[in-house]
Structure 1
Amino acid sequence: MHPEKFKQVARLPSAERHAYFVRKVADTQEVWGLHQDGWATAQVDGKVAIPFWPEAAFAQACASGDWAGFQPRAIALGDFLAKWLPGMGGNDQQAFVFPVSQGSASVAAPADLLADLRGEARQYE
Structure 2
Amino acid sequence: MHPDKFKQVAGLPSAERHAYFVRKVADTQEVWGLHHDGWATAQLDGKVAIPFWPEAAFAQACASGDWEHFQPRAIGLDDFLAKWLPGMANNKQLAFVFPVPQGSASIAAPDDLLMDLQCESEQYE
Q: What TM-score, normalized to structure 1?
A: 1.00
- 1:98 offset after TM fit, Å? 0.1
Q: Within 1, Cα distance between the matches of 2:43 and 2:22?
A: 22
- Other-structure match for 2:52: 52
- Other-structure match for 2:25: 25
What secondary structure does 2:87 align onto?
A: helix
1:1-41 deviation digits (Å, cap 9, x = unpaired) = 00000000000000000000000000000000000000000
Q: Which amino acid aligns with 1:3?
A: P
Q: Within 2, Cα distance between the matches of 1:91 and 1:46?
A: 13
CA RMSD of aligned residues (A): 0.3
Say whether residues 1:37 and 2:30 are aligned partners: no
Q: Any residues of structure 2 matched to 1:1-125 within 5 Å, and which?
A: 1-125=1-125
1:88-117 deviation digits (Å, cap 9, x = unpaired) = 000000000000000000000000000000
Q: Which amino acid aligns with 1:2?
A: H
Q: How many percent of aligned residue pairs carry the same amino acid? A: 84
Q: Within 2, Cα distance between the matches of 1:31 and 1:121?
A: 13
Gaps of 5+ in 1: none
1:19-74 deviation digits (Å, cap 9, x = unpaired) = 00000000000000000000000001110000000000000000000101100000
Gaps of 5+ in 2: none
Aligned length: 125
